[in-house]
Amino acid sequence: MLKVAIVGGTGYTGVELLRILALHPQAEVVYITSRSEEGVRVADMYPSLREHYPALTFSNPDARELGVCDVVFFATPHGVAHSLAAEILATGCRIIDLSADFRLQDVALWEQWYDQQHGAPELVDEAIYGLPEVNRKDIAEARLLAVPGCYPTSVQLGFLPLAEQGLLNGQNLVASCVSGVSGAGRGVKLGSLFCESTESVKAYGVQGHRHLPEIRQGLTRAAGQPLELTFVPHLVPMLRGIHATLYTEEVDLGIDVQALYEQRFADEPFVDVMPAGSFPETRSVKGANMCRIAVHRPENGNRVVILSVIDNLVKGASGQAVQNMNIMFGFPEEAGLQTLALMP
Residue numbers annotated as active site: 150
Select from 1, 128, 11, 124 the least CA-distant residue to 69: 1
Q: How far apart are CA 195 and CA 198, in angstroms?
A: 6
Q: Assess contact for 173 and 246: CB atoms under 8 A.
A: yes
Helices 150-164 and 257-264: crossing angle in degrees, nearest 10, is 120
Four-residue CA torsion sign, 290, 333, 61, 79: negative
Amino acid (one-letter) located at 94:
R
Select from 161, 126, 160, 163 the least CA-distant residue to 146: 126
The dihedral region occupied by 91, where left means phi > 0, alpha psi between -120 and 50, and beta the remainder, is alpha
> How much helix, strand and coil, in percent to the nearest 5, is found in the chain?
35, 20, 45
Q: At 328, phi and psi to the nearest 5?
A: -60, -35
Q: How far apart are CA 333 and CA 344, in angstroms?
A: 27
End-to-end C-alpha distance for the chain, whole angstroms: 35
